[in-house]
């Protein structure tokens, strides 16, 4: 029901419902993500970040929370927070090539090329034919030769 309110753009009602949900169950990581998204819509990024960090603290495997942290980290210049969330997520799931790719890009953006290369190798161990990761590896190696 709450997601329907979000889809309709009724953020005030969504905010009320998500607040009630975390009041009833403060360990509801999905409700914290919902609060984060609504606060982001209202432009309160400080509160949105606090909500997303709470969701990740409760459940480091919440893919939506981690993905939002990655997107917001890039946008808000909080790369290290985003990297830490992704690393925690990837340490606790079997494999997630898409999220590994997000981490690789964030690590490159943060200038942590050695760490990015390690993550590239990890992905290629799971899937040696991953074209996008192979392409990134070539680009990184080429850029290191130029430098």
Per residue in 46-95, pLDDT tens?
999 999 999 999 999 999 999 999 999 999 999 999 999 999 999 999 88
Instruction: Give the pTM.
Output: 0.87
Three-class SS state of 122: helix
Nearest to residue 101, comparing CAs of 139, 65, 136? Answer: 136
pLDDT digits (tens, 9 = 90+) for 8-30: 567 888 899 999 999 999 999 99
CB neighbour class for 128 (10 Å; exposed up to 12, middle 13-18, buried from 19) = exposed
């Amino acid at each position: 029901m709450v997601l329907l309110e979000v889809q309709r753009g009724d953020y005030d009602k969504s905010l009320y419902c998500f607040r009630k949900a975390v009041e009833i169950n403060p360990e509801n990581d999905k409700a914290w993500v919902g609060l984060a998204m609504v606060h982001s819509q209202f432009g309160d990024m400080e509160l949105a970040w606090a909500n997303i960090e709470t969701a990740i603290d409760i459940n480091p495997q919440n893919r939506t929370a981690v993905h939002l942290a990655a997107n917001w980290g890039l946008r808000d210049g909080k790369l290290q927070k985003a990297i830490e969330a992704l690393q925690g997520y990837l340490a606790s799931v079997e494999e997630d090539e898409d999220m590994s790719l997000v981490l690789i890009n964030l690590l490159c953006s943060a200038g942590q090329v050695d760490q990015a290369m390690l993550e590239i190798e990890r992905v290629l161990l799971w899937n040696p034919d991953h074209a996008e990761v192979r392409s990134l590896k070539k680009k990184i190696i080429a850029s290191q030769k130029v430098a």
